[in-house]
Amino acid sequence: YIRKSQSNERKLTAYTREAEIHGSASENDSPERMLIKTEQSEMIQGAIDRLPPKQREVVTLYYMQHLKYREIAEILECSEGTVASRLNQALKNLKRKLSKYYL
């Protein structure tokens, strides 16, 4: 379970980094494109904000603070398996919440 979750995390991390590189506003973006990127960021942040607190904190520590499972487990005083489980559930919740916008 942990290996599968970590594999999914690597894929999502790669996707997230790719989106950050290509999704960040640049001087060449049209005003419409900049607005779309801003709205997408707000939708994603809103979905993260609506996660249950334990899932939200794991998402924040992993994706925004770039901490490893071990570091998150130490901070939250739980096992790495619990971190993986919470992150996996959070990603499922985010996918469900955002799927109507990104079909």
CATH of the domain at 45: 1.10.10.10
Asked if residue 103 is part of any domain, the answer here is no
pLDDT at 97: 87
pLDDT in tens, 22-37: 455 556 778 888 888 8
Counting as low any pLDDT under 70, the low residues of the chain are 1-27, 102-103
Number of compact structural domains in the chain: 1
What is the domain extent for residue 93?
2-98
Give pLDDT tens digits for 36-49.
888 888 888 899 99
Q: What are the CA-CA distances from residue 66 to residues 8, 31, 41 (Å)?
A: 16, 31, 18
Task: Output the CA torsion sign for 39, 44, 45, 50.
Answer: positive
What local confidence, expressed as pLDDT, does residue 91 receive? 93
Residue 23 belongs to some domain of the structure: yes
Residue 11 lies in a domain: yes
**Residue 81 within a domain:** yes
Asked if residue 7 is part of any domain, the answer here is yes
Asked if residue 50 is part of any domain, the answer here is: yes
